[in-house]
Copies of this chain bind each other. A is one copy, B any other.
Amino acid sequence: MIGIVIVSHSHCLAYGVCEVANQMAGNEVKIVAAGGIHDGDQWQLGTDPLRVMAAIEEAWSEDGVLLLLDLGSAVLGAEMAVEMLSPEQQAKCLLSNAPLVEGAFVAALQASLGQSLAEVNVAAEDVLRMQKFEREIYE
């Protein structure tokens, strides 16, 4: 079963995504938050490649680890984190283009069903084509 890492600029946001995704996946999947920067005293907004790397290690599975991201510099932080891993580990990490929250919910569910890293990511990225509701009522 693959692991999942949630990379966000906000500690609270990443934690909240894990909270809901864990409930959806019946706590069967390792979903680890890597949000914000801790300055030794409190949480600041930002992404810390070392925290992302530690989260990948914590979520580690030989089946692979999927990383979901919020903004541009979260992508940079995640890329730097992956580059710090061994080549064998790098080959099993995949950055997702899925929307962070919706993608994490779908990824957690698919991962809990034993889908492969590529399959989980395809399902998560497919969320981009889904509508949450029909628009007619409010337009």
Which residues of A come within 8 Å of B, CB atoms? 8-17, 19-20, 23, 35, 45, 69-72, 75, 79, 82, 93-95, 97, 99-102, 105, 127-129, 131-133, 135, 137-139
* Chain A interface SS verdict (over half): helix
Residue in B10, B75, B132 whose CB lies within 8 Å of A69: B132
What is the total number of copies of this protein in its complex? 2
Residues of B within 8 A of A12 (CB): 12-13, 15-16, 19
Are A45 and B19 closer than 8 Å at their CB atoms?
yes
Give min CB distance, A137 to chain B, whole Å.
8
Are B99 and A102 closer than 8 Å at their CB atoms?
yes
Docked pose: A133 CA to B125 CA in angstroms: 13
Are B71 and A105 closer than 8 Å at their CB atoms?
yes
Chain B residue at minimum C-beta to C-beta distance from A13: B16
Docked pose: A102 CA to B75 CA in angstroms: 13
Query: Contacts A95-B133, A132-B75, A133-B95; is A16 near B8 (CB within 8 Å)?
Result: yes
